[in-house]
Copies of this chain bind each other. A is one copy, B any other.
Amino acid sequence: MILSKCESKLDVDLGERSYPIFIGEGIYADASYYRKYISGSQVMVVTNETIAPLYLDKTTEALSDYELKTCILPDGEEFKTLEVLNRIYTALLKGHFTRRSTLVALGGGVIGDMTGFAAATYQRGVEFIQVPTTLLSQVDSSVGGKTGVNHLLGKNMIGAFYQPQLVLADTSTLNTLDDRQLSSGLAEVIKYGLIVDAEFFSWLEENMDALLARDPGSLAYAIERSCRCKTDVVEADEKEAGQRALLNLGHTFGHAIETGMGYGEWLHGEAVATGMCMAADLSRREGWISEQSCDRIYRLIERAKLPIEPPVELSVDRFLELMAVDKKVLDGRLRLVLLKEIGSSLVTDDFKMHNLNETLSQYGS
């Protein structure tokens, strides 16, 4: 048995919709972390077939004081659809869950996004708690209230902004994560360094080997610092009017890769890693970031065992086509997050089309 040990607590301050993030070891199995944040008597744990055998028993034990049901979904980004979402609604209705229910999302980003959207829309809104079990979801999707599902024609095109009551980021759940998933999470960790925190980027250069070796202390520090970076950006701009868009560094390129290759072929973090390299490349062509800084970026991403080149299958034209339905396109103009320097970024549509074409064709056919 793991003794529950809370390493740190962050507060995401959004007025009425504020909530805490606890980071620690074994905390997801500790009833005392949940109690204050559940106001009704009905709780449904939503998880998937991979996570259920690993962590469901201890979660339900911790929640045994409540009228408890579970909903187990298939595992994978390809199941982040309206149809699978509907299974959550069906389970809630069959269980006679009222508006005062709480949903607990136990799993990675897909489970978190879908459960959050189910909570946002079941009976026009019930409470929910995030228990992210992957590094990616601990540092990214559990902070900021973005929820939703994919559409065949675009990723995350259906959704809502909706905040959880509580996030429990438990480092002990990372021990069962496969290497590729761990690296995928590290892509988002590196992103925070790139967009707002040069010092953290240097820390990552020092500690990448420890992170890959899953050193608990290093992981907890990286999660906490990442969550702080994201929290700072989200607090400043909850509805993504401006500043928050910086979090999309690498994502416009990355979404194009994910959509173009078919959901599930590339992991989200892998696509984002390559997207960040492309954003760095375009920033260099625009004359902002130095060649040396670009090399540091490629090198760190490579050391995290992440891809730095887009799939050869995607032509320039296909890239442009895929990016045209991206939701960061305002009035038909493509806006991208670019880098002024490591730790300093901006959202802009002020770049030369020929530079973008070169970035896209540098690797493509």
CB of B332 within 8 A of CB of A98, answer yes
CB of B96 within 8 A of CB of A121, answer no
CB of A153 within 8 A of CB of B99, answer no
Which residues of A (173-196) have their CB < 8 Å from a CB of B?
A: none
- Identical copies of this chain, number: 2
Residues of B within 8 A of A148 (CB): 121, 124
CB of A121 within 8 A of CB of B160, answer yes
Majority DSSP secondary structure for residues of A touching B = mixed
Q: How far is the CA of A148 from the CA of B158 in the complex (A)?
A: 14
Residues of B within 8 A of A151 (CB): 86, 89-90, 93
- A159 contacts the other chain (Cβ, under 8 Å)? yes
- A296 contacts the other chain (Cβ, under 8 Å)? no
Q: How far is the CA of A97 from the CA of B218 in the complex (A)?
A: 43
- A329 contacts the other chain (Cβ, under 8 Å)? yes
- A213 contacts the other chain (Cβ, under 8 Å)? no
Q: Which of B98, B153, B158 meets A121, CB within 8 Å? A: B158
| A-B contacts, 7 listed (Cβ < 8 Å) | A41-B331, A93-B153, A93-B325, A98-B332, A100-B331, A122-B157, A124-B146
Residues of A whose CB lies within 8 Å of any CB of B are 40-41, 82, 85-86, 89-90, 93-94, 96, 98-100, 120-125, 146, 148, 151-154, 157-161, 324-325, 327, 329-332
